[in-house]
Amino acid sequence: MTPDDSGAAKPAGETRSTLDIMRIMEALPHRYPFLLVDRVVDLIPNESCTGIKNVSINEGVFQGHFPRHPVMPGVMIIESMAQTAGVLVVETLGPDARGKLVYFMTIDNAKFRKPVVPGDQMHVHVRKERQRGNIWKFSGAAKVDGIVVAEATYAAMILDS
């Protein structure tokens, strides 16, 4: 075991990466207002990563959901999980992922535990469960201040664009 940047032990040979917004925009086709990942940390190709979403009152969705009690829609939390998984797929496949898109196939066991509101920083933890051909299955959990606010398992298909 060797220490990572935080001083925690990690298995020898394991690579953890951090991706800034420019790298995320190279990996995903999404753009404002639907790009829901601001940074990726602790990316271990073919295994897991964590996406960070800074939730801001300036996001258009809060004009209507709900004006006097802004709450991030659950479907957008799930989409943030999917986009984080998309980055994991692209970073795992490397150059082979150029020109490919990651499409949702299923969402299972979605649970919403606590509202996400402007000012929150959501950490989206994604783990690859399995892969068969171009079908990938993931488990995801979104946390704010270390508390799980949402979780789901989901599958995606990787296709040429």
Beta bridge partners of 17: 43
Catalytic residue among 65, 69, 123, 125: 65
Is 65 in the active site? Answer: yes
- Please report where in the chains the tokens 């950490």 appear, as a residue: 123
What is this structure's pTM? 0.90
Give mean pLDDT, residues 93-112: 92
Does 13 score more than 60 pLDDT? no
- Mean pLDDT of the region 105-116: 98
Whole-number pLDDT of residue 99? 80
Residue 85, both tokens: 């998984």
Predicted confidence at residue 2, as pLDDT, reads 38
Q: Cα Rg for the chain, rounded, in angstroms?
A: 16
100, β-bridge pairs: 160
Average pLDDT over every residue of 39-44: 98
* pLDDT higher than threshold 80 for residue 41: yes
Fold of 11-160: Thiol Ester Dehydrase; Chain A (3.10.129)
Domain segments of the chain: what residues? 11-160
Instruction: Indicate left, alpha or beta for 140 from its phi (over 0: left) and psi (-120 to 50: alpha).
Output: beta
Please give the average per-residue pLDDT across 42-63, as a whole number.
Answer: 97
Residue 6 has pLDDT above 60, yes or no: no
